[in-house]
Amino acid sequence: MASVSNNYYEGVDAVSPMYEGEEKKDQDRAVWFPVSQTACVCDGVTSSPCAEEAAELVTKFSPALFSGDVEQSMKVISDLLVVLRTEKLHSEVNLVANMPVKMREILQETAREKARYSYQTTLVAAKFVLEDTMVVSSMVWCGDSVFLAFDSKGQLLASSPAGSERSKCAVMKTNNDLSSAKHSGNITFGPGE
Amino acid sequence: MNHGEKISRAEPGLIVFIVDDSGSKADPLPGTSDPKYQWVERFIGVILRELLAKSTELKGDTAKIKPWYYIYIIIYGSKPQVWAAGQMDIQAAVEKYADDGNSLCLGGKSGGTDAAAAFQKAYEYLKEAVKDEHFRTSFPPMVFHLTDGMSATDATPIAEQIKQLSTEDGNVLIVNAYIGTETNLNYRGPEDFPGYVDVSEVGPNEDNVRLFNMSSEAPACIRQNLIDDGIFPNIRERSRLFSDVRTKDMLKHVIQVVGSLGSRAERTTR
């Protein structure tokens, strides 16, 4: 969440976890970078191992998305997540002691299968530039996270571009699939709109 | 009472298999040279592994199994027998299955077919299980009955009693799968199986009608899970949890119906 002050945005960071009964979920990240005036929300995919690491990495990387070629930057972070996934696929998994040999084999195989879907998160990131009465925003999103801008009365000013595809495909999926990634041109909004 | 609970460690799922192991199970499955009981064992093994995978959490470099599912298997011919230690969590069930050479020790050697006695056994177990603190608030148990028909006894009355049992989330569900029967429904395989909605679709065969009538209507979340998982992507609303099994592919998908247990209402909310 961010609000405008002295022609400058101020932001609030939010970090999970949340609890559902005994189950802890801690894979959501929301970060505001005041100097670069960028914001990012990553929503790690629950069923994906290491989703919290993915969300953490992508949010930290997000200001770099706007410093050059966006598609190239997206590919860099995606490649990193794929490398981490590959490492995970080839790493031994720790199991409880005294587990029978057959069960260990089954669980190692199960863990490898799950690792194929590791490091998945959605992403929505935006960079803001304040002009006299307008805000110019550039944004990147992938998966089903969205960007919404409201005025102080709660009126919606802008959102991820109309007709945006709210794909269920998470960012950085298997095989570097960035097909659902979107990058907007500049979007403007502000008082009076 | 709306079949809306998710499966979790606090509210685990309970699956009761009732597996017909009568003499005819030694006959080959249509289109294959292996006996029906071997295919049943293989595909039950597949679903046990899938349930284990769902219950396994990978955190960092550590894999941990959470007891999200409990299994109870009744094998019957002329007499019902409970497999292994009775109620087992998914880890214990997979271990036992693996220790027995990936087998449930079926063999089509259990004589005749007394389905009513097997359902009675299930009822005796379930009437206590639904009150157990493990399952009292869980998504209701699923009873999965797999047969190649021709039971000497009618399990309908006891099946009705089972369907009246409930957890706080709804009534126990009964699924019936009938290997090798013929029906009036025209479909090629799991990919276009529309499910049976009306008794006229199952044809005049008395066993078909009996098993159709015994079967629960699929709750909305089960139907959605079957579609989402690609088990039966074209299953219709209000379909009964009844399937005929014409091929080994259909048998695999039918057994995977047990993996649809539980609501996944928050799946897209992450």
Instruction: Give the residue extent of every domain in chain B.
Output: 13-265
Q: How far is B11 from chain A (nearest CA, A)?
A: 10
Cα separation, A47 vs B55, in Å, equals 11
Sorted by sequence, the CB contacts under 8 Å of residue A64 that are 6+ apart come out as A73, A76
- For residue A46, give the nearest of B53, B98, B270 by CB distance: B270
When pLDDT is averaged across residues A109-119 and rounded to a whole number, the result is: 91
Answer whether residue A188 shows pLDDT above 80. Answer: no
Q: Confirm or reject contact between B247 and chain A (CB < 8 A).
A: no
**Looking at domain B13-265, what is its CATH homologous superfamily?**
von Willebrand factor, type A domain (3.40.50.410)
Percent of chain B scoring above 90 in pLDDT:
89
Task: Return the residue of B nearest to A51 by Cα.
Answer: B59
Contact A118 B58 (CB under 8 A): yes
Q: What is the pLDDT of residue B197?
A: 98
When pLDDT is averaged across residues A43-48 and rounded to a whole number, the result is: 86
Tokens, residue A178: 């960035």
- For residue B61, give the nearest of A45, A91, A114 by CB distance: A91
At B268, the pLDDT band (50, 70, 90 cuts) reads: very low
At A165, the pLDDT band (50, 70, 90 cuts) reads: very low
Contact A93 B99 (CB under 8 A): no
Q: Confirm or reject contact between B53 and chain A (CB < 8 A).
A: yes
Kindly give the pairing relationship between strand B173-179 and strand B242-245: parallel
Interface test with A, best of B5, B229, B270 (most A CBs within 10 A): B270
Answer whether residue A45 shows pLDDT above 50. Answer: yes
When pLDDT is averaged across residues B24-32 and rounded to a whole number, the result is: 92
At A27, the pLDDT band (50, 70, 90 cuts) reads: confident
Interface test with B, best of A110, A122, A142 (most B CBs within 10 A): A110
Q: What is the pLDDT of residue A74?
A: 87
How many CB atoms within 10 Å of residue B110?
22
Cβ(A30)–Cβ(A13) under 8 Å? yes
Answer whether residue A9 shows pLDDT above 70. Answer: no
User: Which single residue is written with the structure tokens 């396994």?
Assistant: B56
Q: How far is B262 from chain A (nearest CA, A)?
A: 16
Length of chain A: 193
Interface test with B, best of A28, A53, A93, A105 (most B CBs within 10 A): A93
Residue A101 pairs in a beta bridge with none
Return the DSSP state at B72: E
At A132, the pLDDT band (50, 70, 90 cuts) reads: confident
Contact B8 A23 (CB under 8 A): yes
Q: How far is A167 from chain B (nearest CA, A)?
A: 11
What letter represents residue A144's amino acid? D
Find the helix packing angle between B90-99 and B36-55, rounded to 10°.
140
Q: What is the pLDDT of residue B84?
A: 95
Residues from chain B that touch A23, judged by Cβ atoms under 8 A, are 8-10
- Report helix, strand or coil for B121: helix
Range scoring the smallest mean pLDDT among A28-37, A148-157, B158-167, B255-264: A148-157
Q: Confirm or reject contact between B50 and chain A (CB < 8 A).
A: no
Q: Confirm or reject contact between B101 and chain A (CB < 8 A).
A: no
Answer whether residue A177 shows pLDDT above 60. Answer: no
Residues from chain B that touch A103, judged by Cβ atoms under 8 A, are 91, 94-95, 98
At B189, the pLDDT band (50, 70, 90 cuts) reads: very high
Q: Which of A109, A106, A45, A53 is nearest to A81 (CA)?
A: A53
Residues from chain B that touch A96, judged by Cβ atoms under 8 A, are 64
- Structural domain boundaries in chain A: 2-189
Higher pLDDT, A17 or B257: B257
- How many Cβ contacts (< 8 angstroms) between chains A and B? 69
Q: Confirm or reject contact between B134 and chain A (CB < 8 A).
A: no
Cβ(A139)–Cβ(A160) under 8 Å? yes
What letter represents residue A141's amino acid? W
Q: What is the pLDDT of residue B244?
A: 95
Pick the CATH number of A2-189 from 3.30.60, 3.40.50, 3.60.40, 3.30.450: 3.60.40
Q: Confirm or reject contact between B49 and chain A (CB < 8 A).
A: yes
Q: Which of A71, A88, A38 is nearest to A142 (CA)?
A: A71
pLDDT digits (tens, 9 = 90+) for B92-121: 999 999 999 999 999 988 889 999 999 999
pTM, full prediction: 0.82
Residues from chain A that touch B49, judged by Cβ atoms under 8 A, are 106, 110
Interface test with A, best of B5, B58, B264, B266 (most A CBs within 10 A): B58
